[in-house]
Amino acid sequence: MRGRIVFLLGGLLILANGCNNTTGKQEAAQGGQNDTIAVQQEKKFQSVYYRFPTPNEVFSFIKSEKLAFDPSLINPVSNVSKYLDSKSQTIALGVYIADLAYITIFESYNNSLAYYKTIHNLSEKVRITSAYDLEVAKRIERNLQNLDSLKNISVESYSSMVEFLIMNNRETTLALIASGAYIECFYIAFNLAGKYSPSNPLIVKIIDLKYAFDNLYSYLEIYSDNQQVKEVAQQLKPLKSLFDQIREDKSSKTRVKQDKNGHLIFEGGTKLQIDEKVYNEIRNAVFSLRQKFI
């Protein structure tokens, strides 16, 4: 079952483009040039934003009642002083955003403010402070014991950042942030899963994230005319080759239903299969990349 992850990777992208195409035609017919430009910008935002799930959604997808928060897995805030150039700062921003998602999803209230301030620090350096400003840090201070509020703040801030980057033609920055975030998500997930077992449901969920990684890698390729993005794509290429070794079983049918919020959810369909050798190779590759990123 791919659940919400597949919905984000496929269904919403299709629906967003379809809806926006319709809207675009309506606006053009009305002759409103400014409105048409706004629609085109929103269309661009939707098609990119839904190309891969947010870190919050990744951790929501893999979380179970058997998993506990492990503070040793997140990148220490003291490391922030090590990131001196724009590339390392941007990638580290993605890493810390993933850490904040892990913190809020797994309900580690006491860590949230320090990580938010670290994210604010880095976002200032890469010139995207609007999404992670100090006013939001004050909101976190007021809501340290309110799990739902902390989750909402984390999601809202990430969404605002993505929208800002896309609307200002800074997709290359988004590509670097997303790369850092995804490697951190995989690093934490593989640590939580532990050693390979074909019956481990968490491993099944992690391997389903192959589709998210494939889309991230394609995104990097699109913007690889930027030297920094090209370098990161080259770093991730061996991992992409390992994910490509995962076998697909297309014998089951895909079911589509709606959740209580009206969102489409795709279930079933292609089932991924992985053996212990490939699993360990992917796990080791992720750990190596994470070490380089932090």
- pLDDT of res. 8: 40
CA dist 246 and 241 (Å) reads 10
Using alpha carbons, list the distances in angstroms from residue 85 to 50, 78, 119, 225, 253: 29, 17, 16, 19, 48
Cβ atoms < 10 Å from Cβ of 273:
12
Mean pLDDT score of the chain, rounded to an integer? 76
Token pair 């007021």 is found at: 142
Q: Is the pLDDT of residue 45 over 80?
A: no
pLDDT band for position 171 (50/70/90)?
Answer: very high
Reported as a pLDDT band with limits 50, 70 and 90, residue 264 is very low
d(CA 19, CA 230): 32
Helix (H) / strand (E) containing 267: strand 264-268
pTM: 0.76
Examine the pLDDT at 107 and tell me if it is beyond 80: no
Identify which has the larger pLDDT, 234 or 104: 234
**Euclidean distance between CA atoms 117 and 189, whole angstroms:** 24
Specify the DSSP element, H or E, that contains 264: strand 264-268
- pLDDT value of position 3: 39
Looking at per-residue pLDDT, the higher value among 38 and 164 belongs to 164
Answer yes or no: is pLDDT of 14 > 90.
no
Least confident residue range of 1-10, 37-46, 79-88, 154-163: 1-10
Q: What digits encode the pLDDT tens for the residues 191-207?
A: 999 899 888 888 888 88
pLDDT tens per residue across span 56-95? 888 888 887 678 889 999 999 999 999 999 999 999 999 9
CA-nearest of 197, 160, 208 to 58 is 208
Q: How confident is the model at residue 286 (pLDDT cuts 50, 70, 90)?
A: very high
